[in-house]
């Protein structure tokens, strides 16, 4: 593990309320500031429980039906430090065009964790962040970063 990232939280008992406190602290109350003058933002769409939809993208996995992901939940505090190091040697950053948007992808040096942001002329928006399972998935992301590097 990288020494600058916090230790993963207990993955066996993911307390959704406690993870939401981490999410609010890192992305709403004191969001990353590295993209100034662009505003860092999150999508304002809320789920039935009143929480931001992107919160569930940071703590669950799946396309149609999202399910608890202990690896994402345990690393909820990794996203902001990774974003804050966007211009450092500690992470690999590249841009791609995906789903009709300009995306910024930021991976830790071993490609174990990936943050995905959407960028437009005035803002940078958090899409998701997640633990990357398996060597083959990490190799695939690494290959994309090499192919699409600015």
Q: Cα separation of 81 and 44, whole Å?
A: 22
Angstrom distance (rounded) from CA 131 to CA 8 = 11
Q: How far apart are CA 137 and CA 144, in angstroms?
A: 11
In this predicted structure, which of 14-18, 21-25, 69-73, 111-115 has the lowest mean pLDDT? 14-18
**Mean pLDDT of all residues in the chain?**
91
Model confidence over 52-72: pLDDT tens digits? 999 999 999 988 888 989 999
**H or E segment to which residue 145 belongs:** helix 135-147
Asked if 42 and 54 count as a contact pair (C-beta separation under 8 A), the reply is yes
> What digits encode the pLDDT tens for the residues 83-127?
999 989 999 999 999 989 999 999 999 999 999 999 998 999 999
Averaged pLDDT, 20-47: 93
Place of tokens 């950053």: 93
Map tokens 């999202």 to a residue: 66
SS3 140: helix
The answer to whether residues 77 and 4 touch, using CB atoms and an 8 Å cutoff, is: no
- Which range (9-13, 40-44, 92-96) has the least confidence? 9-13
């Amino acid at each position: 593990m990288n020494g600058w990232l916090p230790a993963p939280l207990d993955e066996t008992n993911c307390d959704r309320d406690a993870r939401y406190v981490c999410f609010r602290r890192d992305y709403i109350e004191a969001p990353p500031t590295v993209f100034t003058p662009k505003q860092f933002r999150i999508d304002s769409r809320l789920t039935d429980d009143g929480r931001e939809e992107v919160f569930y993208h940071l703590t669950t996995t799946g396309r149609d039906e999202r399910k608890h992901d202990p690896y994402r939940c345990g690393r909820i505090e990794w996203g902001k430090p990774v974003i804050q190091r966007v211009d450092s040697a500690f992470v690999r950053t590249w841009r791609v065009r995906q789903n009709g948007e300009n995306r910024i992808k930021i991976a830790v040096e071993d490609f174990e964790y990936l943050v995905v942001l959407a960028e437009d002329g005035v803002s940078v928006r958090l899409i998701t962040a997640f633990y990357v399972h398996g060597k083959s998935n990490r190799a695939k992301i690494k290959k994309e970063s090499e192919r699409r590097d600015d």
